[in-house]
């Protein structure tokens, strides 16, 4: 995945949080939590959960297996930073000690206390919004739900254990096909499978999904099923992507 797509994903994740935040201006949040603190905590928790499902699950593979300095991995870290930074500010009036601890644990230059900071401003939040990107990823996340249902069926039938043992075939046409082609390189990571093949179906036909067992051998580091792995040395059993990731220095 190129840096542009990685950055776009960052905006997607930011968008989820920002839509939540933008629905309540900072002043309104303050007034609201004074009257309804439990509801605010639940709402914030729900937003965090949505972000977790929509972003973190997608990003586990990036965070755990890609090179430390790769644009994809760093973009995931950037998204998480913005999410946690925003949530720390929002929960500070309700969970003062926890928010303060969280604030001081965040990387980079921090101010002395979260309690001297402001909620994220509307201007800042608006600057993150990308409607077209959000629309794209709403469709992709909907498709992922359908893929997950198929994966779960195969898992129950013992075709494979984890979803990484699966290979997905998607047949689409029209706008759906164009969207899938646009994000084709990202689909295996989005679906948490080892391979995704996109092909063109008859015009006007609905998008179809088929899941089968992935062919190949299992990489011992990323657990993807790949055509081949390294056969010897200290990289034995690793796929080419993992060998490349380990070759890069952790620090710049
Ligand atoms: Zn690997």
The answer to whether 5 and 183 have CB atoms below 8 angstroms apart is: yes
> What's CA 185's distance to the chain center, in Å?
14
Q: Is the pLDDT of residue 166 over 70?
A: yes
Q: How far apart are CA 47 and CA 187, in angstroms?
A: 24
- 65 CA to middle of ligand 1, Å? 7
Torsion of CA 136, 139, 140, 142, to 10 degrees: 160
Tallying the residues shown for the chain, one arrives at 252
Distance 68 CA to ligand 1 centre (A): 15
pLDDT for 172-190, tens place per residue?
Answer: 999 999 999 999 998 998 8
Q: Tokens representing 219?
A: 């990489």
Ligand 1 centroid from CA 234, angstroms: 14
Q: What is the three-class DSSP state of 225?
A: strand
| Element of type H or E holding 77 | helix 71-91
pTM for this predicted structure: 0.71
Ligand 1 centroid to 25 CA: how many Å? 44
Residue 241 Cα to ligand 1 midpoint, Å, equals 6
The CA 29 to ligand 1 mean position distance, Å, reads: 44
Distance from Cα 170 to the centre of ligand 1, integer Å: 24
Q: Which residue has the tokens 């949530």?
A: 87
| Mean pLDDT value of segment 126-132 | 82
Using the mean position of ligand 1's atoms as its centre, give its distance from the Cα of residue 223 in Å.
6
Cα of 113 vs its chain's centroid, Å? 29
Across the chain, which distance is largest between two alpha carbons, in Å? 64
Angle at 194 between CA 192 and CA 200, to 5 degrees: 95
| Whole-angstrom distance, CA of residue 28 vs CA of residue 9 | 29
- Count Cβ atoms below 10 Å from residue 243 Cβ, excluding itself: 16
Please give the distance, rounded to the nearest whole angstrom, from the Cα atom of residue 63 to the centre of ligand 1: 13
pLDDT, residue 126, reads 78
Dist CA 11 CA 221 (whole Å):
29
Average pLDDT over residues 198-217: 94
Q: How far is the CA of 158 from the centre of ligand 1 (A)?
A: 23
For residue 215, the 8-state DSSP code is P
pLDDT reported for residue 2: 45
| Over residues 191-211, mean pLDDT | 94
Average pLDDT, the chain: 81
Question: Is the pLDDT confidence value at 197 over 80?
Answer: yes
Q: Which residue has the higher pLDDT, 74 or 169?
A: 169
CB distance 203 to 173 below 8 Å: yes
Identify whether the C-beta of residue 238 lies closer than 8 Å to the C-beta of residue 246: yes
Between the CA of 225 and the centroid of ligand 1 the distance, in Å, is 8
22 CA from centroid of ligand 1 (Å) = 39
How remote is the CA of residue 217 from the centroid of ligand 1, in Å? 10
Would you say residue 149 has pLDDT above 90? yes
Q: How far is the CA of 165 from the centre of ligand 1 (A)?
A: 13
Q: What is the pLDDT of residues 20-38, one digit of tens each?
A: 554 444 555 555 555 555 5
Domains in the chain, ordered, with CATH? 3-128 (1.10.730.20), 138-215 (3.30.2320.20)
pLDDT at 4: 45
CA of 55 to the centre of ligand 1 (A): 21
CA of 60 to the centre of ligand 1 (A): 13
Residues near ion ligand 1 (Cβ under 5 Å) = 219, 221-222, 239, 242
């Amino acid at each position: 995945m190129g840096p542009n797509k990685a950055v776009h994903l960052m905006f997607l994740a930011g968008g989820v949080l920002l839509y939540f935040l933008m629905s309540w201006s900072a002043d309104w949040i303050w007034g609201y939590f004074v009257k309804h603190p439990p509801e605010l905590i639940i709402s914030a928790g729900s937003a965090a959960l949505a972000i977790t499902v929509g972003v973190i699950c997608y990003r586990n593979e990036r965070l755990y297996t890609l090179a430390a300095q790769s644009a994809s991995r760093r973009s995931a870290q950037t998204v998480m930073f913005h999410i946690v930074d925003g949530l720390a500010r929002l929960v500070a009036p309700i969970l003062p000690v926890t928010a303060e601890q969280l604030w001081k644990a965040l990387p980079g230059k921090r101010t002395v206390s979260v309690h001297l900071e402001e909620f994220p401003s509307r201007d800042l939040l608006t600057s993150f919004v990308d409607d077209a990107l959000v629309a794209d990823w709403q469709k992709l996340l909907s498709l992922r739900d359908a893929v997950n249902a198929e994966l779960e069926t195969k898992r129950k039938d013992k075709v494979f254990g984890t979803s990484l043992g699966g290979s997905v075939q998607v047949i689409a046409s029209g706008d759906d096909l164009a969207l899938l082609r646009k994000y084709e390189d990202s689909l295996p990571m989005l679906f948490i499978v080892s391979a995704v093949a996109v092909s063109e179906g008859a015009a006007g036909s609905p998008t179809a999904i088929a899941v089968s067992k992935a062919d190949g051998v299992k990489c011992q580091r990323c657990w993807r099923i790949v055509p081949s792995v390294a056969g010897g040395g200290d990289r034995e059993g690793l796929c080419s992507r993992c060998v490349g990731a380990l070759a890069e220095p952790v620090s710049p």
